[in-house]
Structure 1
Amino acid sequence: MSTLHWAGLVVLAMIAGAVVPFQSAINVNLGRGLGHPLWATLASLLVSVIVLLPIIVAMRLPLPSLAFIGKAPLWMWAGGAFGVCFISLALVLLPKLGAAGFMALALAGQVVASLLLDHFGWFGLVERQVTLPKVLGVVLLMGGVVLIQFSDAAEKAMTATS
């Protein structure tokens, strides 16, 4: 893989991550307006369908295989449930933890789960062993989570004692 290609993938992955706190913050307000976080979750997923269908049509993608749909294992359909879980929890937790705190904790959970997925090759992924540098990376990430989440409380405690 060329350096330019790799750099492009890095930028796209960062964009994918950057849109998540915006989505969460916007959905928090939507949930307040609609009266409950689950209504915002439903609205978010419906907007996703409305945005995605014209793209699928414009790309002239062939219809999915009905044979595959009938024989696919149940776990292959869990992605939608995980999406509901993430969106709903973001709506509830983001106002309590703040955008940075929630995203840091969510990212930490994603990295730990990703290491397990890679290590065991679950769901057809290529096995990639957990190594000491990867574990150290998780420990450093967790340290960053602690700094992000508790820096406000530490600052308030320091100003209260002065």
Structure 2
Amino acid sequence: MSTLQWAGLLGLAAFAGAVVPFQSAINSNLARGLGHPLWATLASLLVSVLVLLPVILALRLPLPSLAFISKAPMWMWAGGAFGVCFVALAVVLLPKLGASGFVALALAGQVLASMLLDHFGLFGLVEKQLTLPRLFGAVLLVAGVVLIQFGNSPGRVLAPQ
């Protein structure tokens, strides 16, 4: 992979992370207007489908294999449930933790869970052993989360900023 391709992938990953606080903040406002976080979650996911379907049609993607769909293990369908969990919790927690606090905590959870997935090679991932330097990086990340969430409000635990 060329340096330019690598830089493009890094940029796309950063963009994927950058949209999270915007999505969460917008959905939190939508929840207030619709009267409940789960209505905002449903609306967000419906908009996702409405945006994705024209892209799939424009790319003329073939229909998925019915054989695969019927034989796929149940855990392969859990991604949608995890998506609902993330969107709904973001709607509820972002107004309470602030954008930076929520994203820092979510990122810490993602990194820690990712390290376990990598270490055990779960879900077909290549095994990437949990080493002391990687564990130290996780500790530094958690320390950063603590500083981000509590650094400007001594004595106030999980209070809105």
Shorter chain as normaliser: what TM range? over 0.9
User: Which segments of 5 or more consecutive residues in structure 2 lack a partner in the other structure?
Assistant: 157-161
Write out aligned runs for 1:4-23 (5 A): 4-23=4-23
The whole-number CA distance in structure 2 between the counterparts of 1:133 and 1:5 is: 27
1:39 positional shift? 0.2
Secondary structure of 1:61 counterpart: coil
The whole-number CA distance in structure 2 between the counterparts of 1:129 and 1:6 is: 23
Write out aligned runs for 1:79-94 (5 A): 79-94=79-94
> 1:77-119 CA deviation, whole Å, 9 max, x = no partner?
0000000000011111111110000100000000000000111
The whole-number CA distance in structure 2 between the counterparts of 1:130 and 1:84 is: 29
The whole-number CA distance in structure 2 between the counterparts of 1:29 and 1:39 is: 11
> In the alignment, what sits opposite 1:50?
50
Partner amino acid for 1:132? Answer: L
TM superposition score normalised by structure 2: 0.94
The whole-number CA distance in structure 1 between the counterparts of 2:118 and 2:38 is: 32
The whole-number CA distance in structure 2 between the counterparts of 1:119 and 1:3 is: 27
Secondary structure of 1:80 counterpart: helix
User: Which segments of 5 or more consecutive residues in structure 1 lack a partner in the other structure?
Assistant: 157-162
- Structure index of larger Rg: 1
More contact order relative to length (CA 8 Å, sep ≥ 6) = 2
Write out aligned runs for 1:65-76 (5 A): 65-76=65-76
Partner amino acid for 2:94? Answer: L
Secondary structure of 1:152 counterpart: coil
The whole-number CA distance in structure 2 between the counterparts of 1:133 and 1:16 is: 26
> 1:14-41 CA deviation, whole Å, 9 max, x = no partner?
0000001100000000000000000000
The whole-number CA distance in structure 2 between the counterparts of 1:65 and 1:118 is: 28
The whole-number CA distance in structure 1 between the counterparts of 2:56 and 2:150 is: 44
Write out aligned runs for 1:127-142 (5 A): 127-142=127-142
How many matched pairs? 156
The whole-number CA distance in structure 2 between the counterparts of 1:14 and 1:84 is: 22
> In the alignment, what sits opposite 1:113?
113
The whole-number CA distance in structure 1 between the counterparts of 2:8 and 2:138 is: 24
TM superposition score normalised by structure 1: 0.94
The Cα RMSD (Å) is 1.2
